[in-house]
Structure formats: structure tokens, C-alpha cells
Amino acid sequence: MKKQVKNNVSWVGKVDWELEKFHGEEYSIDKGSTYNSYLIEEEKTVLIDTVWAPFAGEFVENLANEVDLEKIDYIIANHGEVDHSGALPKLMKLIPDTPIYCTANAVKSIKGQYHEDWNFKVVKTGDSIEIGNGKSLVFVEMAMLHWPDSMATYLTEDNILFSNDAFGQHYATEKLYNDLVDQCELYEESIKYFANILTPFNVILRKKLDEIIALNLPIYMIATSHGVIWRDNPMQIVEKYTQWANDYQENQITIIYDTMWNGTKKLAEKIAEGINLADSDVVVKLYNVTKNDENDMITEIFKSKTVIMGSPTIGSNILHSMAGFIHLVKIMKFKNKKAAAFGCYGWSGESVKILNGLMKDAGFEVISEGYKNQWNPDLDAENEAIEYGKKLATL
Ligand code: FEO
């Protein structure tokens, strides 16, 4: 059922309460998600985005109950990714000639996925279309936020920015607006979304945020494509994004490790103890990489000033769990973060050196040669690990 957003703008999307993973298996979902689609009924009728393909049938059926599909004058595809374009094939079977407004890159991504030559109308930043009653839709390219094809659409007079993925959260709710949901949950899902999806594009994001702010558009609402609509102080999320996009960090040190016979785990705990002894203000968090959610750990790294990675040596190398996780860390292109390494070993002891190399390659400033311990840590080794933690807290 459609829900009124403001005046003649309605939400016609899908709340996906059961979603567990997103982007294949890459992004863990804790609280479901939504695929937000919007219907504007002025003199012209406009549909902004659709929903993910598994919900295409119910989306088109519900939409047809709300509006005569033949009356849809324009479809706006802000982004070609399947969670927003997935209902186009079903919809376009019913209204094949309806123009689809999108960027040149979105023509490529939509054609590349559905192999259909629909009536695409390519738009660029600043282009607009009149929709009657003195209102128009203005397009703003958002390339690399987070795909080359992304754009946002601004509805004049109602002053709503349809931002697509930007400013979104994977957060299922029947409530439409940011002021109607639990604020802690909203913050957690917003920062996780930013850390895991937008961090690699920080440089581009900074420029784009400046560009949006410089436009000086009155923005009464930011209607994203996932989660809630920002209506209460909508610029709060733009301000947060500005902060997060500027090599964000808090006073936090995060330790991430894997262990075979608990020796490396013991070192991890002692390093945490040492950090806290040296600086009781710093937040220390410790995660076993195999027992914690990878995306949550990425969010913790995003918040950290220093990251300490641990692995025992196996086969003259590190555990594959750590290698895989550091690969994910590298994709995030974190900047302005320090790193150090530790690990137990029985024979050759290469893990610390390898971890240092991987962290450097991932863009971290390695601040120590690392700490390694042969066999299980005894009391002396535990004390050395505490001292190592103390040292890292001061670097
Ligand atoms: Fe980039 Fe929500 O899709």
C-alpha cells in the first residue's frame, strides 16, 4: 500500500524484514532493509526507482492498485543496481514505451543486466523535467556514490532530494521517517552502511558533498532508497557524511586476531590490557575474526585510530581467516590509520612480518616491527605483551 510522504509524493516500495545478506554474502544485515520507490502524482505521474527483483511481482501488482500504470509519464532510474531496477523488466512489459530517465552509465548498467533497449532518456547534472503544478525534477549525477551510474533527483517546491543509496541504511521499518525510529539503531545502521559501502569513495564523496552544499538548495527531506526518509533536520546526515568522509576516527584502538591454540588470543588480551593501562581514555575493542561479523569489524576499524592484527604462523604464513579479512580491509581504502601486528609461533614465525606487509599494502601506517612469541606465552611473555600494548597506546 502506498504511504504519503509529502503532498503528492508517496512511498510505494518494499520492506524486506527477512533479508540476511546483501551484495551476495558481502554485507551482513541485522535489521532487514527496505527498497524505497516513490510515486509523484502531479500533472505528470512519475515513478522514482523500483525494488529488488524477488519482489517485482508484488511491487507491480501493488503499484497497479494505486495508479493506472498507463498514466505513468516518466520513470526515474537513479541507479541501475538490481535492488532498485529489479522490477523494471516486469513493469516495462506492461508500459514498454514509458521513458526512463537516467545517466548515460545507467543505460549501460540497465542494458547490461536486462538486455532490453527501453526508451532511455539520458540526463546530466542540472538537467530537469517539468512535472506540472510549477514543479520540476532536477538531476544531479552522483558518479561513484556508489556506482558510476548513480544520480540523485531533486523535486522543487516540495524540496525533496531523492538521494538513492547515499544517506541510506539497511533498516527495515514500517515507519517512514528518521524521527520515528530508535535513534541508536538508526545511527548504528547508518555508520555501518557508510563504513562498508562508501568508505572507498571518500575522495569523490567529499567533492560531491561540497557540491551539494554549494547548490544551497532548500532540502526539506532526503528520501533515500534504503531505510528511513530524513525529515527531521535532514542535513544532520549530510553533516555526518562530511565528518565520516574526512578520514574519520575516534579515540579507539581495535585488535583483530585469529588463534590456533589460544596463544595469540592470550597475547591479544594482554595487549588490550596494556593499552588500557597506558591510556584509560582510549576505547579498546578486541575481536576474534572467526567469531565476529566481518562488516561490524569493518565499522570498528572505520572508527579506530589504530588497528592491531594478530595471527599465529602456519605453513610459514598467516591463517587464511586473517588473510581474507585483510583483503576486505584493503578494499575499503582506509586512510590516516595506524597499524601493528602480533602473533605466536612454534617454529619459523613469519606471521608478524607478513601481517605488517599486508597492512602496509592496505594503506595503513605500520608503527612497530610487531611482537611475536614462540610457543605458548608464559608469564614473561604475557608481561611483554602488556608492555607492547602500553607502547602502542602512546605511538
Ligand atoms: Fe547500489 Fe541499493 O544499490
Task: Provide the pLDDT for residue 217.
Answer: 86
Angle ∠(21,322,19) on CA atoms, nearest 5: 5
Q: pLDDT of the chain along its 395 residues, tens only?
A: 899 999 999 999 999 999 999 999 899 999 999 999 999 999 999 999 999 999 999 999 999 999 999 999 999 999 999 999 999 999 999 999 999 999 999 999 999 999 999 999 999 999 999 999 999 999 999 998 889 999 999 999 999 999 999 999 999 999 999 999 999 999 999 999 999 999 999 999 999 999 888 888 899 999 999 999 999 999 999 999 999 999 999 999 999 999 999 999 999 999 999 999 999 999 999 999 999 999 999 999 999 999 999 999 999 999 999 999 999 999 999 999 999 999 999 999 999 999 999 999 999 999 999 999 999 999 999 999 999 999 999 99
DSSP class of residue 359 equals H
Please report the sign of the dihedral spanned by the C-alpha atoms of residue 84, residue 88, residue 90, residue 91: positive
pLDDT, position 212: 84
Secondary structure of 185-200 as H, E, C letters = HHHHHHHHHHHHHHHH
Structural domains present in the chain: 3-244 (3.60.15.10), 252-390 (3.40.50.360)
Q: Which atom of ligand 1 is nearest to the CA of 147?
A: 1
Asked whether 84 lines ligand 1 (CB < 6 A), one says yes
**pLDDT for 215:** 81
Contact call for residues 221 and 159 (beta carbons, < 8 A): yes
78, burial (CB in 10 Å: exposed 0-12, middle 13-18, buried 19+): buried
Instruction: Give the residue, by CA position, lying nearest to ligand 1 atom 2.
Output: 165
The active-site residue, picked from 79, 141, 300, 345, is 79
pTM of the model: 0.96
Asked whether 79 lines ligand 1 (CB < 6 A), one says yes
- Residue 16 Cβ contacting ligand 1 at under 6 Å: no
117 is catalytic: no
Quote the CA–CA distance of 84 and 297 in Å, as a whole number.
Answer: 27
Q: Which residues contact 378 (CB under 8 A, 6 or more apart)?
A: none
- Tell the residue number behind the cell numbers 572507498, with chain if given: 200
